[in-house]
Structure 1
Amino acid sequence: MQLRLIATTPGISIYYDEINRWLYTDWQGVHTQESSQAAGLLLLEALRQQPSSKILNDTSTIVSTSVDLSTWDQWWLRELVGAGLRYIAWVYPRLFPDRDATERILIHVKPMVVTTFDDVATACLWLQKQGVAAHPSSPTVALLS
């Protein structure tokens, strides 16, 4: 990966991978509903600034999270799709309880392609095989049940 930093806060760093033409998000530390929403807005802004149909979403260094799916999250997911997102390779947190929180959220995301992984390398290989890396012109994804 050849990464160019787009945005960073104490809880997330967002990069554009120049070679693979996707966003790489590196989540760190503790996340509450509020900090996750702030990071989510930063991610949406980054996706609009640097359009891509793919995100490598690395949550492996999250220490703790208390995030539940909300109306705001449904709006946010629709906005990501509207900005061109089609594929997410989601790297699980290393801590087991936070994997459960991830699963509770991901079960509601339909039919955008989201696949989970235990490591960044495997996630990267999968994402390289998905669709085209350029910004798609016609969104056709419905999100939440």
Structure 2
Amino acid sequence: MLLRLILETPDLLISHDTVNDWLYVSWQGSHNQESARACCRQIQAVFQQYPTSKILNDNSGVLNPNAQLTEWGLRWLQELYALGLRYMAWVYAPNYPGRSPSDALVQYLDKPVVATFDDLATAHDWLQRQRLPSLGPGRWE
């Protein structure tokens, strides 16, 4: 990964991976539903400035994760889809208590495609393999 820093806060670091042309989002510290939503709004603002079809969403730096994917989060992902997001690789925080409910919600979401992982390397490899379908010469989804 060759990363160009876009945003850095105590809770969130967002970079553009120039080799893979995706956003790399690294969450830090402790989060609850309120702080997670605030970070999601920051991600969306950056995404609007730097649109791409893929996000590597890394929660491995989150301590004491107390937030889980909710209907609000699903709507947020659908808004990102409308802006061009097609694939998100989501690396869970260690010892994430919201894993089962989040996995249950993610399986019903098809746009964008969200896949969950326990480690960054596997998520990175999966995201690299995802390709946008061609809709004809010079046209993409």
Shared fold (TM-score greater than 0.5)? Answer: yes
| Count of aligned pairs between the two proteins | 134
Q: Counterpart in 2 of 1:114?
A: 114
Q: Counterpart in 1 of 2:88?
A: 88
Q: Structure 1: where are the runs of 5+ without partners?
A: 139-145
Whole-angstrom CA distance in 1 between matches of 2:100 and 2:61: 15
Structure 1 runs of 4+ with >6 Å offset:
none
Normalised TM-score (structure 2): 0.83
Q: Give the deviation of 1:35 after TM superposition.
A: 0.8
Whole-angstrom CA distance in 2 between matches of 1:125 and 1:75: 26
Q: Name the amino acid aligned to 2:97.
A: P
Whole-angstrom CA distance in 2 between matches of 1:39 and 1:101: 20
- CA RMSD, Structure 1 to Structure 2 (Å): 2.0
- State the identity %: 43
Relative contact order, higher structure (CA 8 A, sep 6+)? 1
Q: Counterpart in 1 of 2:70?
A: 69
Q: Give the deviation of 1:103 after TM superposition.
A: 2.2
Call closer, same or farther: CA 1:60–1:100 in 2, change over 3 Å.
Answer: farther
Q: Give the deviation of 1:89 after TM superposition.
A: 0.9
Q: Counterpart in 2 of 1:128?
A: 128
Superposition pairs of residues 1-145 of structure 1, within 5 angstroms: 1-63=1-63, 64-70=65-71, 72-100=72-100, 102-132=102-132, 138=141
Call closer, same or farther: CA 1:61–1:100 in 2, change over 3 Å.
Answer: farther
Q: Name the amino acid aligned to 1:130.
A: Q
